[in-house]
Structure formats: structure tokens, C-alpha cells
Structure 1
């Protein structure tokens, strides 16, 4: 299927799950969206789920145990359908209730947590799928609007001081600690918000990938509000 490209040239749009999983990335497009306007009350689901940790995985059994209104049940059916579609495709989807992710505060000159713009890496051919049902939604950035953090001279110099080894070992060190996966937005960069209810497929860095991996980040959470996120 030919991707319907948006005017930012990085994202493509499809209208069915079948098209989402069967449409290949091409050219500059490394993020494809199954655009949806979902019905149902996802806030009700969030309000009735129990947060056990800052990131709590929600099981199908947890969802089915909730006593919900008609609109809440409609939202639950959507989530269950999405989980089943992805599982049937061969993915391993996870539904997470999120208060916050862990922050990386070990080094003051570079961050490697999920709030930093980054790409995903895999040793096998795969894609990242995600959908935010409730709360703040993730952002992506076009690859020409970011700079790899390890190529920024002042950051690279400090990392070299931290490593204090040969250049070959230094490159291995950058990969081992995932420094090479993180990016700094260029001045005037324009993030693309992934919005609520849409199911996205993002390109991952792996040996078979024919396009650049998609640069994305987790959003700062809204005050007093949890996020409900499907990801795999």
C-alpha cells in the first residue's frame, strides 16, 4: 500500500490496522499512524485502576474486573481489541498505567532516560507500536531536526573523560550505556505530538531497517494525571 504522507514528510497515515502492520516505511517516513477518534470514557478506566508502582502493567484480567459505565465499557472493549490485534500479529503488547518514568540524574551533562529524545534499537527486525489512551501523549521529531548527543563536542569531550580509554573502546562504551541512542533538538525544532487514541508504528534501529529510526520521547506528565499507554 502507498503511504498517505502528511505535510511534515516524516509521518504517514493509514485507515486500518491491516494497513498499519503491512505498510513499509519508505523515504523519510519512519512513523505511520492509524488515525482514530475513539469513543468511550478512558478516564473512568484510569480512575478505577490501581497504581501499584510508578509504572504499573495492567493485565487483561485487571481490565475485565472493573465495574464500568456504558462509556467506560466501550473504552475497555477498544483496549482489549487493540491488545488482541497486536498479539495476533505476533507482537507482545503491554498496557501501562503511568505516574512517571525513572529520571536519569547520574550525569549532569547528558540524560539517557525516556524523557530525552531517543531511538529504539533491536537486534532483530521489529517496530515499536504505541497508543496513548489517556494523559499526555508522546512526541516525535524529524531526523533532520535533531543532533546525536555524542556528536556534540562538549558532551563528547566529557564522555571521553568519563571513559578514559582507546577510541575503539570508547565507541563500544557509548553503545553499551546507550549514549548513542539519544538526541538533542536543534534550534527551532518542531515536535510532532502523537495525540490520543491513534495507534502508531515507529521505525526501530535494527540491521534490516531501510529508513532512519524514529526519534521520540515520553512527555512530561500533566500534574495529578496518570497516563494510560499501550506499547510494544
Structure 2
């Protein structure tokens, strides 16, 4: 078992897909990791896929149409297996080839894009699953090392000026534009990088959730390198 992850009290370690989906979050634990050292050549798959937009969804038939080496075939089988397992579980997995996400640079004091530390919110009970097969991988932050940006006085004052409406509607305004989902690391924060090949389950903010949602962000991509990410 990997000590880098198991040393963190917010991360629970599992060894099968069944354990990943059937283990509930509890206490401080709002992240589960199915730790895997994957065989296969994922770079070969990425090099053959066609990027149509900055984020291009890749479908099973796209993978099946590739002419791959033995190592490439192993990688393809792993991805198809993950997609099938999550679909059978009832999730809606998406495999994305990513050059970059859209940036939100409209306001210089708060960003609402996925490169900013944030939590996911859902009106129904769900979780976020993700696995980076190739390229840079996401970071998470312990909740006690993250400050909700709308609680930082300078940012809050600027948002109140931007709102320019009745005080009683301010909180709804923050939710409507997703400002309340974004966080700033504390000065001593130590982000945890999720690495490649592991399948992760992150806690989401929803009405039935018993634990704090997981604070995470997308990584800045390496120059001239695409990411291959499964997410749902």
C-alpha cells in the first residue's frame, strides 16, 4: 500500500472497484483511493487520438478503432474496463482528451474555473470519480488547509460591491455564480497530488452528505502534452 496517500487521514485506501464504490465516507475521510500500478502504454493511445477541441470526449468506439501495440492494447483494455465498471455502477463516466480548460479571468480577485481550488456540488447524492491515465494529475487540499474565498474580507467586500443588491439576496448571488464553491490554500497548505492510474472517489457537497466535500483543482497542463482523464 502506498504510504504517501495512506499517511493522510482524509484519504481511505481500498484495493478493489467494489470496495471503492461500496465504502462510505466517514469522519474526516472524504476521499477514497483505489491504488493501482497500471501496465500498458497510455502515451501510445494519447498520441493516436485526435484532439477536436480543447476538451475532446473520447468514446469506446474511438479507442477500439486504434491500431495498437501489445502494451497499447493493455492500456485500452484497462480504460474500457473502468468505463464499463462505472457505467454498470450507475455513473455516467466521460473519457476526456484535454489540451486545456476554459479560464475564468473576468475578475482579478476570484476565479471560478477548475484550475482554482473548489468543491463539487450536486442537488442529489453522488460522488466524483476520476482517474488520470496520462499527463498531469489533479491536486486535493485537506479541508483544514483551505479557506472559502467568500469568507476572506477583501474578496467578500468586492463581491458585495459587484452584487449591488439587497443584503438578503447576497448569499443566493454567491451560490448562483458559484463563488461559494472556491477556496484559497492557507499559507502552510500542502496539496496532495493524485498521481496517475489510481481511481479516486471524492466527496461532493449535497444535501445528504455526512462529510465535508473534497477541495480539489485541475492541474496546469504541461506544454505540448495532453491529459487523458476519466471523470464522472
User: What's the TM-score once normalised by structure 2's chain length?
Assistant: 0.97
Which runs of no fewer than 5 residues in structure 1 stay unpaired? Answer: none
Question: How many residues of Structure 1 are paired with residues of Structure 2 in the alignment?
Answer: 228
Partner of 1:169: 169
Residues in 1 aligned to 2:87 and 2:58: alpha-carbon distance in whole angstroms = 15
Shift of 1:6: 2.2
Q: Provide the secondary structure at the position in 2 that maps to 1:76.
A: helix
Which runs of no fewer than 5 residues in structure 2 stay unpaired? Answer: none
Q: Provide the secondary structure at the position in 2 that maps to 1:9.
A: coil
Deviation beyond 3 Å, 4+ runs, structure 1: none
Partner of 1:23: 23
Partner of 1:143: 143
Shift of 1:166: 1.7
Partner of 1:134: 134
- Where do residues 106-125 of structure 1 align in structure 2 (5 Å cutoff)? 106-125=106-125
Residues in 1 aligned to 2:43 and 2:93: alpha-carbon distance in whole angstroms = 21
Shift of 1:217: 0.1
CA distances 1:26-51 after superposition (whole Å, capped 9, x unpaired): 11010000000000000000000000
Residues in 2 aligned to 1:109 and 1:188: alpha-carbon distance in whole angstroms = 20
Residues in 2 aligned to 1:62 and 1:217: alpha-carbon distance in whole angstroms = 28
User: What's the TM-score once normalised by structure 1's chain length?
Assistant: 0.97
Partner of 2:156: 156
CA-atom RMSD in angstroms = 0.7
- Where do residues 94-105 of structure 1 align in structure 2 (5 Å cutoff)? 94-105=94-105
- Where do residues 210-229 of structure 1 align in structure 2 (5 Å cutoff)? 210-229=210-229
Q: Provide the secondary structure at the position in 1 that maps to 2:9.
A: coil
Partner of 1:59: 59
Residues in 2 aligned to 1:168 and 1:42: alpha-carbon distance in whole angstroms = 51
Partner of 1:209: 209
Partner of 1:190: 190
Shift of 1:7: 2.0
Q: Provide the secondary structure at the position in 1 that maps to 2:150.
A: helix
